[in-house]
Structure 1
Amino acid sequence: MTTTERATRDDAALVAKLSTLDRFLPVWILAAMAVGLGLGRQIPGLNDVLSRVEVGGVSLPIGLGLLVMMYPVLAKVRYDRLHTVTGDKKLLVSSLILNWIVGPALMFTLAWIFLPDLPAFRTGLIIVGLARCIAMVIIWNDLACGDREAAAVLVALNSIFQVVAFGLLGWFYLKVLPGWLGLATDDLHFSVLQIVVNVAVFLGIPLLAGFLTRRGGERAKGRDWYEGRFLPRIGPAALYGLLFTIVILFALQGRTITSQPGDVARIALPLLAYFALMWGGSFALGRAIGMPYDRTATLAFTAAGNNFELAIAVAIGTFGVTSGQALSGVVGPLIEVPVLVGLVYVSLALRRRFAGSSELARSRR
């Protein structure tokens, strides 16, 4: 069996491992949106009901849904394996530059190009660009035969870095940079401190809980039990939390969505451009600096994906559940999931091509 044939067989096996929940994630998201729109029509006073139980300006049911989204993902991270990536300077430096310089700058640029007249949606997209991927990237990376250990470590680094950097970057991209460029900022009325607090709550709490859960679980039962039995049990909770939040958001945003479908389409366009440019550019960079396929794929997917759970949480906590910023966050997973699923197949095709190139090079020696 040739290297290319083995790669094709392994690709099919990996895709088959994807659970029913994950395989049909776009379907579940569309269904949640439809249910939310239906509820919005049946319960017009839903916003008043949710606002009666608020903590820090965020409805308690929505806040719990957001925390449930984040915790299982962060409980999967192997926090004791940071050194496996920090020793690979090419991967570490490339990932940090792509995630924390290129990604936010690209989304800022695309948001202003595509949405110059829609400040709320534009701000929501910029927040999405600041929320670096720590969630679904593990699934996309596994399916694309990327380096699982490297992906987990990059997720851990992004999680820690986000707690520290998100508020500062939000201040820079939403307040400072537009002023330097002569762009309008008078449409933005929010506190940067509020963004910092929301990040600390919706990322800091589940990050700490995930770290303590892994540490305690492995000490008590061992890593095999923790990863083989405990994680599969709590894993689906992240999707349930996401779907619950989408149902509520679309119930509250129903009138805006149905009355302004063109605006929703305009939110989708810069997101499509962003994912294509970030993934393609990152993959090309990995190959250019000589990284093997598995780490090149990991670099591409960790750079292209975004933490839409955190973006939704920050948008809701800062601007309100019915805001245009929150709607931009909700549109994020609707676009990201099918696009990155498609890019998994593109990545696998490139893997077979590189495997074939390696075979040809060996045959010429």
Structure 2
Amino acid sequence: MSGPEGGGVAARLSFLDRGLAVWILAAMAAGIGLGRAAPGLGDTLAEVTVAGVSLPIALGLLVMMFPVLAKVRYDRLGTVTRDRRLLVPSLLLNWVAGPTLMFALAWLFLPDLPAYRTGLIVVGLARCIAMVIIWNDLACGHREAAAVLVALNSVFQVAAFSLLGWFYLSVLPGWLGLGQTGLDIPVGTVTRSVLVFLGIPLVAGYLTRRVGERARGRAWYEAVLVPRVGPFALYGLLFTVVVLFALQGRAITSHPLDVARVALPLLAYFALMWTGSMALGRAVGLDHARATTLAFTAAGNNFELAIAVCVATFGASSGQALAGVVGPLIEVPALIGLVHVALRARRWFAAPAVPVPQEEPARA
């Protein structure tokens, strides 16, 4: 993707984009405050479900992801699917390195807290299919590449999540003499999560572009419609953050030391996965946009799925569920910080020999 240095990109962001860290921290505080002020609110929100999926969270993610997926140029996805330098590292990072790293960090930091340790391992198995699209777009990653990698993660998630859960919680600890944790992960829970959190906004974004371009042309679509719907991605993100923290606000504030202990391996995970993935992308010859996409899709996690699995398996008040909830508490500010790092890392990448056929993201 062509464009100015990271600082120039950041300077052209809208007021809402530039203050994103502040707005998200405010949304997190608002959610926790609502959860504390109205103790029954979390239970009420948790009970509003459709096929086992939280309706408020699904609504927020739909609003959040639709504008970004409506920006994707689907006629260019073929160039991404043929890019083995991107696809092979992504699969290895997401389905080998990521779960293994989280397993190691969970045992290293939480050897005496099996419930939290199990919750973290489940988080490591749930590869990101939702919020990563927002982080990638803000960091000027390659939008079409993100769509392809997220779709691949979705397919692997349905096919391999239960099997990997059995391996990392039962087989591998037994081999290492660490003990075992039985975990029965229903495939239906994983499938519903993927269909709701990715399938609906993906289909909506694709149809919107097809219909819009046929009716008014690509120039009108990208110059008029995309800027109008673009801000709703951040509105949906803020709404989702408020709901997530309202659901678990009391649990978070009631166990501050537990939250701190769970936060440490998560911080280490995000730093190591993102930095290692970015360095790997540069080493294999990816340009900045594709390396950024590789890093964010490898470092992010599907906390919605992890929380759903932990609640369904261990209960809403379990330590496993609390570990899942601490995930976005740490991931959101950590990845916002990494967005700024990615924007400034452009100087370390050579300009691509053939410019990446993608426009700068339209901003509010």
Q: Is the 8 A contact 1:163 1:204 kept in 2?
A: no
1:15 CA drift (Å): 0.6
The CA distance in 2 between the partners of 1:343 and 1:184, in whole Å, is: 35
Provide the TM-score with structure 2 as the length reference.
0.77
Note the alpha carbon deviations across 1:230-287, whole angstroms, 9 max, x for none: 3444444444344334333433423322221111112221121112211222232233
| 1:229 maps onto 2:224 in alignment | yes
Number of aligned positions between the proteins: 350
| 272, 293, 296: which one aligns with 1:277 | 272
Distance of aligned partners of 1:340 and 1:195 in 2 relative to their CA distance in 1, 3 Å threshold:
closer
TM-superposed deviation, 1:49: 3.6
- Alpha carbons 2:5, 2:343 under 8 Å: kept: no
2:284 corresponds in structure 1 to: 289
CA distance in structure 2 between the partners assigned to 1:143 and 1:245 by the alignment: 17
Cα 1:308–1:233, aligned 2, differ >3 Å: closer, same or farther?
Answer: farther
Evaluate the alpha carbon distance shift between residue 318 and residue 238 of structure 1 in structure 2; reply closer, same or farther with a 3 A threshold.
Answer: farther
Could you say if the C-alpha distance between residues 25 and 170 of structure 1 is closer, same or farther in structure 2, counting changes exceeding 3 Å? Answer: farther
Alignment partners' CA distance in 1, 2:348 and 2:147: 26
Q: Secondary structure at the match of 1:45?
A: helix
Deviates more, 1:204-213 or 1:167-176: 167-176
Contact 1:151–1:298 (CA under 8 A) maintained in structure 2: yes
Whichever residue aligns with residue 12 of structure 1, its letter is G
CA distance in 1, matches of 2:171, 2:62: 30
Q: One-letter code of the match for 1:284?
A: A
Of the three residues 19, 24, 27, the one matched with 1:29 is 24
| Corresponding residue of 2:100 | 105
Q: What corresponds to 2:205 in structure 1?
A: 210
What secondary structure sits across from 1:336 in the alignment? helix
Q: Which of 183, 189, 198 in structure 2 is aligned with 1:194? A: 189
Assess if the C-alpha contact under 8 Å between 2:262 and 2:326 holds in 1. yes
Q: Write out the 4+ residue segments of structure 1 that deviate beyond 6 Å after TM superposition.
A: none
Once the two structures are overlaid, the 10-residue window that deviates more, 154-163 or 275-284, is 154-163
Per the normalisation by structure 1, the TM-score is: 0.77
Structure 2 CA distance, aligned partners of 1:352 and 1:306? 28
Q: Could you tell me which of 79, 82, 106 is aligned with 1:87?
A: 82
What aligned pairs does 1:239-250 form with structure 2 within 5 A after superposition? 239-250=234-245
Q: 1:344 to 1:219 in 2, by over 3 A?
A: same
Residue 262 of structure 2 aligns with an amino acid whose one-letter code is: I
Write the mapping of 1:69-88 to structure 2, written as runs, cut at 5 A.
69-88=64-83
Q: Could you tell me how far apart the structure 1 residues matched to 2:323 and 2:69 are?
A: 24
1:136 and 1:91 map into 2 onto residues whose CA distance is 20
Partners of 1:57 and 1:268 in 2: how far apart? 27
Q: 1:257 aligns with which of 252, 256, 267?
A: 252
CA distance in 2, matches of 1:24, 1:196: 35
Query: Which protein has the larger Cα radius of gyration, Structure 1 or Structure 2?
Result: 1
Contact kept? 1:71, 1:209, Cα under 8 Å:
yes
Q: Give the Å deviation of 1:211.
A: 3.2
User: 1:142–1:251: structure 2 CA closer, same or farther, 3 Å change rule?
Assistant: closer
Match of 1:19 in 2: 14
For residues 34-53 of structure 1, the C-alpha deviation after alignment (integer angstroms, 9 at most, x for no partner) is 22233233322334544664
Structure 1 residues 226 and 43, CA, compared in 2 at 3 Å: closer, same or farther?
A: same
Q: Are the counterparts in 2 of residues 194 and 318 from structure 1 also a CA contact under 8 Å? A: no
Structure 1: runs of 5 or more not aligned: 1-5, 357-365
What is the rounded CA distance, in whole Å, between the counterparts of 1:51 and 1:298 in structure 2? Answer: 32
Identity across matched positions, percent: 72
Return closer, same or farther for 1:154/1:197 CA change in 2, 3 Å cut-off.
closer
- Between 1:345-354 and 1:212-221, the stretch displaced more is 345-354
Q: State how 1:306-321 maps to structure 2 within 5 Å.
A: 306-308=301-303, 310-312=305-307
**Equivalent residue of 2:301, what SS?**
coil
2:169–2:182 CA contact under 8 A, matched in 1: no
Aligned-partner Cα distance in 2 for 1:145–1:61: 28
Q: 1:320, 1:232 → 2: CA distance?
A: 42
CA distance, structure 2, for counterparts of residue 12 and residue 189 of structure 1:
47
The answer to whether the Cα contact below 8 Å between 1:85 and 1:154 also exists between their aligned partners in 2 is no
In the TM superposition, residue 14 of structure 1 has moved relative to its aligned partner by: 0.6
Q: Which runs of 5 or more residues in structure 2 are unaligned? A: 352-364
Report the counterpart of residue 334 of structure 2 in structure 1.
Answer: 339
CA distance in 1, matches of 2:57, 2:67: 17
In 2: Cα distance, 1:293 partner to 1:346 partner: 12
RMSD over aligned Cα, in angstroms?
3.6
Deviation track 1:138-192 (CA, whole Å, cap 9, x = no partner) reads 5555565554544444344434544544454445444554455454554646534
Task: Describe the SS at the equivalent of 1:82.
Answer: helix
